[in-house]
Amino acid sequence: MKAKDFFKTIKQLENQIESKRYMVQTYRTLAEGVRSPVYSDMPKSPNRQLEPMAEALIKAVEIEEEIKALEYELTQKRADVIDLISKLEKDHQIVLIKRYFEKKSWGEIAASMYYTERWIYKMHGTALKQLDELFSRVQLSSC
């Protein structure tokens, strides 16, 4: 696996977690919604499903469990790649961490490091090549 692909995998995990959090929030909102009582003396089906509020809460809890598993996987992947990044030159470490973990733009990275954007692009490319070499030498546990 190449370094860029690994960073894409991390981004996809972050996106999955974010969308699942939104789903949990939606289910919790549904569960907290006020329902009007239904007064009827008509017989009810014995196979009737749970109340919609209870179903929404159950789904929210199930999704929260999925989120925990994804967060654990994300933490493992981040730890693995940070271990490899720490073996690079300091400037290359800074560029990769600011870009992929702090989500900084190229301009922000260049300004904080007092380099031109063009030089940052070049350092980024070099850092990715070096990281690819490290990836080929080391088999990551979470790939």
pLDDT at 141: 47
pLDDT at 17: 97
pLDDT at 71: 98
Q: Which of 80, 76, 69 is nearest to 16 (CA)?
A: 69
For the chain, list the domains and their CATH numbers.
3-33+51-137 (1.20.140)
Residue 12 predicted with pLDDT over 80 = yes
Per-residue pLDDT of 55-113, as tens digits, reads 888 999 999 999 999 999 999 999 999 999 999 999 999 999 999 999 999 999 999 99
Tell me how far apart the alpha carbons of residues 134 and 1 are, in angstroms, rounded to a whole number: 11
141, containing H or E segment: none
Tell me how far apart the alpha carbons of residues 71 and 62 are, in angstroms, rounded to a whole number: 14
The token duo for 107 is 């301009």
Indicate the pTM of the whole model.
Answer: 0.78
Per-residue pLDDT of 20-47, as tens digits, reads 999 999 998 888 875 656 666 666 665 5
pLDDT at 31: 82
Per-residue pLDDT of 111-137, as tens digits, reads 999 999 999 999 999 999 999 999 988
pLDDT at 142: 45
Tell me how far apart the alpha carbons of residues 111 and 115 are, in angstroms, rounded to a whole number: 7
Residue 143 predicted with pLDDT over 80 = no
57, containing H or E segment: helix 52-85
**Position 16 confidence tier, pLDDT thresholds 50, 70, 90:** very high
